[in-house]
């Protein structure tokens, strides 16, 4: 439908600081926001309800698929509202989604949804309906008493037949394994035929990808990101419940991992509600809260009820404060529309997966999570650096509330066998560091690939990519990795980079061992900061050091401690999800033949006037780097030995 009427004025209820002393948010704020987001879908509805047409882009799968996705994903938001709200709110939603499901699953109907095909390369036809089958199954489970039970027997058969088709399909070897399993589990829970389904096998595959502290890699690749929160944990949670496996040893293990995940994931959220900006499908935004609610519903949430509400409300309130979903439907972006962070398969309804993050509304209004009269910050007493060795991650919470992720493990890359395609890197995985208040450069900034990356630069000014991480190690609060620099998918002959990070409070020392034939420029970038006006830059060539600062005071600084001879700052427009103008500081050095050792100091602070931290003293003896803090605490690392690696180089 085109020409939808403008949305009604949006107004949140008054903040309730008696109930929620810090955020002011209560359950009523969540309901108001959720209904606003859903109303955007209603205003763009089709006659049968199955093919809403929101503003935004259409993928090659076609508009009908995007409309199906809009229904499936917005249903994730409607389902807990159906379950946890009063009849006056729930009944119109129940009628609306019942009508949409029946219209979409009518095989020859005018608004019939496409059916997915088995995912084998090369893929032909629509595949993403498998995802929506999972979303619909999940939502039907959450809202079963209000929606499924109102269908007649023929209507149930129609919906079940559509789900069963998708439950029998083979899919990609990543979180997609859970999508047919989800459809099968719901069918099993309502007594429908599940012959020919392989959900139990699929779940075993996903469970085999477990790492530690509640985190899974997303398939055989070492890809670790928010898919843990908005797909892997929620769908495993629903699968074990729908198949009556919660009380089995496997179910107990699942709940233990779910609780552990909440503990570690809570550390990734800044006290002001800002989430780490890393990984793919970031337009799903609040979907990252889903695992938190699953743990709360199952009674394995390690956080106190008020802390859970503060964490979840802080995240949602921050997006709402930026206007997300308020005067327009959810868009492809973060705080603002910004399609460069979206995947090629994302269309106009994709962002509504955010609705799974409202699962807490399925809890009764008098549940402790909604009534507790305190809001402790989960990470308030957990400042410092937390190690996640199997992930290759270090998480640091600063005194000013910024959360930093040191990344030596997640790359979402395959090791190239033949240089037949462009570099597979993604800026949301390829960086050495991410944070809660910065975003990696995209567009032109990604082409130059400066921020949070160490590159070898060729004679044409082209920077190498990180590619697949070849080896990693985390020892205490020191983390390192090895990568083989590549350009156009081809590894640079005789080149390798060992990078080791030593975070310490508000700053981080990075030491690099660059092995090369020599004759190349080495460039290392700090964090990119973004604003609606160009950040200011300040250079200190004697250090060398470069600093960039936004009007709000967010400041990134990088200082050469050993081996660097120049510093510069670079600016970009429309290349950062957090602002129209971005800037990044960088250091430069020359790589000699053999081994070149470089050491830098990186800082990211929220106050431009804050005095820069006194730099540590650095001593370099061959490949042994010793860092001594001003208070005398010393750490040493041998760059040639810290990361276990066979040392083989391309072209040697």
pLDDT tens figures, 410-469:
998 876 655 555 666 899 999 999 999 999 999 999 999 999 999 999 988 999 999 999
Contact assessment for residue 256 and residue 300, using Cβ atoms and an 8 Å cutoff: yes
Q: Which two tokens stand for residue 359?
A: 């699962």
CA-to-CA distance for 132 and 110, rounded, in angstroms? Answer: 19
At 619, is the secondary structure helix, strand, or coil?
Answer: strand
- Longest Cα separation, the chain: 79
The residue among 615 and 365 whose pLDDT is bigger is 365
* Gap between the Cα atoms of 518 and 578, Å rounded: 37
pLDDT tens sequence across 195-235: 999 999 999 999 999 999 999 999 888 899 999 999 999 99
Give the distance, in angstroms, between the CA of residue 575 and the centroid of all CA atoms in the same chain. Answer: 19
Alpha carbon 521 to its chain centroid, in Å, reads 33
Across residues 528-533, what is the average pLDDT?
97
- Write the pLDDT tens digit of every residue in 42-98: 999 999 999 999 999 999 889 999 999 999 999 999 999 999 999 999 999 999 999
SS3 533: coil
pLDDT tens-digit readout, 88-125: 999 999 999 999 999 999 999 999 999 888 765 444 45
pLDDT tens digits along 603-624: 999 986 666 667 889 999 999 9
pLDDT exceeds cutoff 60 at 381? no
How far from each other are the two terminal CA atoms of the chain, in whole angstroms? 61
Lowest mean pLDDT among 21-30, 110-119, 193-202, 551-560: 110-119
Is residue 609 within 8 A of residue 553, CB to CB? The reply is yes
Q: HSE of 59 in the Cβ direction (CA atoms, 13 Å)?
A: 21
Q: Give the number of other Cβ atoms within 10 Å of residue 641's Cβ.
A: 11
Q: What percent of the chain is helix, strand and coil (3-state, nearest 5)?
A: 35, 20, 45
- What's the pLDDT at 200? 97
The lowest-confidence range among 38-52, 122-136, 624-638 is 122-136
pTM here?
Answer: 0.95
- The whole-number pLDDT of residue 122 equals 43
Q: Cis peptide before 10, with omega less than 30 degrees from 0?
A: no
Q: Give the residue among 425, 312, 452, 443 at the shortest CA–CA distance from 370.
A: 312
Q: Where are the extended beta strands (E) located within 270-383?
A: none
- Contacts from 145-151 at CB under 8 Å and sequence distance 24+? 145/83, 146/82, 146/83, 146/90, 146/94, 147/79, 147/82, 147/94, 147/97, 147/98, 148/190, 150/94, 150/98, 151/98, 151/102
* Alpha carbon distance 304, 590 (integer Å): 53
What confidence score (pLDDT) does residue 134 get?
Answer: 98
What pLDDT score does 382 carry?
62
CA–CA dist 164, 284 (Å, integer): 26
What pLDDT was estimated at residue 128? 84
The alpha carbons of the chain give a radius of gyration, in whole angstroms, of 25
Residue 235: C-alpha distances to residues 73, 175, 199, 290 (Å): 14, 9, 12, 10
pLDDT value for 7 = 79
**Under 8 Å between Cβ of 469 and 483:** yes
At 339-353, the pLDDT tens digits run 999 998 999 999 999
Helices (H), 143-177: 153-167
The count of other CB atoms within 10 Å of the CB of residue 465 is 23
Pairing state of beta strands 454-457 and 520-525? Answer: antiparallel
8-state DSSP, 340: G
Token pair in block for residue 563: 């081996």
At 292 the three-state DSSP class reads helix
What structural domains does the chain harbor? 27-371 (1.50.10.20), 384-638 (2.70.98.70)
Q: Token pair of 226, please?
A: 């928010």
User: What is the pLDDT at residue 416?
Assistant: 60
pLDDT above 90 coverage of the chain, percent: 84
């Amino acid at each position: 439908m085109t020409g939808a009427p403008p949305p009604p004025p949006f107004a949140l209820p008054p903040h309730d600081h008696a109930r929620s002393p810090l955020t002011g948010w209560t359950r009523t704020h969540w309901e108001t926001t959720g209904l606003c987001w859903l109303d955007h879908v209603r205003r763009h509805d089709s006659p049968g309800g199955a093919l809403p047409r929101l503003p935004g882009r259409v993928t090659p799968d076609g508009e009908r698929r995007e409309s199906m996705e809009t229904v499936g994903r917005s249903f994730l938001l409607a389902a807990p509202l159906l379950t946890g709200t009063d009849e006056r709110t729930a009944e119109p939603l129940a009628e609306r989604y019942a009508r949409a499901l029946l219209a979409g699953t009518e095989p020859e109907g005018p608004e019939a949804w496409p059916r997915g095909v088995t995912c084998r390369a090369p893929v032909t036809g629509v595949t993403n309906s498998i995802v929506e089958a999972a979303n619909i199954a999940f939502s039907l489970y959450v809202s079963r008493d209000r929606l499924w039970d109102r269908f007649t027997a023929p209507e149930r058969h129609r919906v079940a037949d559509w789900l069963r088709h998708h439950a029998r399909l083979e899919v990609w070897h990543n979180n997609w394994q859970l999508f047919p399993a989800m459809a099968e589990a719901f069918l099993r829970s309502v007594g429908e035929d599940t012959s020919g389904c392989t959900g139990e096998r699929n779940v075993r595959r996903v469970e085999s990808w477990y790492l530690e502290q509640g985190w899974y890699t997303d398939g055989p690749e070492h890809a670790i990101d928010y898919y843990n929160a908005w797909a892997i944990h929620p769908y495993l949670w629903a699968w074990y419940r729908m198949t009556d496996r919660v009380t089995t040893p496997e179910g107990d293990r699942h709940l233990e991992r779910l609780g552990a995940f909440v503990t570690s994931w809570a550390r990734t959220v800044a006290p002001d509600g800002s989430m780490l900006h890393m990984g793919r499908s970031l337009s799903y935004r609040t979907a990252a809260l889903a695992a938190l609610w699953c743990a709360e519903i199952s009674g394995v949430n390690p956080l106190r009820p008020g802390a859970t509400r503060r964490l979840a409300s802080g995240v949602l309130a921050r997006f709402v404060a930026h206007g997300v979903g308020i005067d327009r439907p959810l868009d492809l972006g973060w705080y603002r529309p910004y399609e460069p962070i979206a995947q090629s398969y994302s269309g106009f309804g994709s962002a509504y997966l955010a609705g799974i993050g409202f699962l807490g509304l399925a809890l009764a209004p008098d549940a402790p999570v909604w009534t507790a009269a305190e809001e402790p910050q989960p990470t308030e007493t957990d400042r410092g650096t937390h190690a996640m060795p199997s992930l290759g991650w270090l998480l640091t919470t600063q005194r000013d509330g910024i959360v930093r992720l040191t990344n030596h493990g997640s790359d979402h890359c395959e090791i190239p066998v033949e240089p037949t395609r462009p570099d597979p890197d993604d800026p949301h995985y390829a960086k050495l560091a991410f944070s809660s208040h910065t975003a990696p450069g995209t567009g032109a900034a990604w082409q130059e690939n400066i921020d949070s990356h160490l590159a070898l630069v060729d004679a044409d000014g082209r920077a190498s990519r990180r590619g697949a991480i070849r080896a990693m190690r985390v020892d205490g609060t020191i983390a390192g990795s090895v990568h083989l620099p590549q350009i156009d998918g081809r590894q640079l002959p005789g080149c390798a980079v060992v990078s080791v990070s030593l975070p310490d409070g508000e700053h981080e020392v990075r030491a690099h061992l660059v092995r090369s034939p020599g004759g190349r420029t080495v460039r290392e970038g700090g964090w990119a900061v973004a604003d609606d006006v160009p950040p200011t830059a300040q250079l200190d060539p004697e250090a060398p050091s470069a600093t960039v600062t936004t009007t709000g005071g967010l400041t990134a600084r990088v200082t050469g401690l050993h081996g660097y001879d120049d510093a510069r700052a670079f600016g970009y427009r429309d290349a950062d999800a957090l602002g129209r103008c971005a800037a990044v500081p960088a250091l430069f050095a020359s790589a000699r033949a053999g081994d070149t050792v470089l050491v830098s100091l990186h800082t990211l602070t929220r106050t431009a006037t804050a005095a820069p931290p006194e730099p540590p003293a650095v001593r370099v003896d061959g490949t042994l780097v010793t860092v001594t803090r001003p208070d005398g605490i010393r750490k040493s690392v041998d760059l040639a030995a810290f990361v276990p690696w066979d040392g083989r180089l391309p072209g040697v």
